[in-house]
């Protein structure tokens, strides 16, 4: 049943410390223990490592090619990357 499927997934996420819960009356309120950005960073690092030999450049080139990005979109991507680097203080 859908309830038991969701319940199983939530229990697995809780066991892996992705979510926590607190009792509210006779039910549980679930909440995230890992920030979305933190999870996404780890997830993407695994993909880059497994499929692109650890190269973020290869991953970006793959997605640019697969999605037929035009020059305007590539420029927009570069602007976004530069902005992120400036915000993080990692501008070499």
Tell me the per-residue pLDDT of 42-57, one tens digit each, with 9 for 90 and over: 999 999 999 999 998 9
Distance CA 48, CA 39 (A): 14
Q: Which pLDDT belongs to residue 87? A: 87
Q: Are residues 48 and 8 in the same domain?
A: no
Residue 54 shares a structural domain with residue 69: yes
Where in the sequence is the domain holding 15, given as residue range(s)? 2-32
Nearest to 47 by CA among 31, 39, 38, 59: 59
Residues of the chain under the 70 pLDDT cut: 90-92
Whether residues 41 and 61 fall in one domain: yes
User: How many angstroms separate the CA atoms of 90 and 31, rounded?
Assistant: 32
């Amino acid at each position: 049943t859908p309830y038991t499927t969701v319940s199983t997934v939530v229990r697995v996420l809780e066991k892996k410390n992705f979510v926590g819960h607190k009792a509210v009356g006779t039910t549980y309120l679930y909440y995230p223990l890992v920030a979305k950005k933190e999870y996404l960073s780890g997830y993407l690092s695994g993909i880059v490592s497994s499929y692109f030999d650890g190269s973020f450049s290869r991953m970006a080139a793959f997605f640019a090619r697969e999605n037929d990005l035009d020059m305007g979109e590539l420029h927009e991507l570069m602007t976004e990357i530069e902005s992120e680097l400036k915000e993080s203080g990692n501008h070499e």
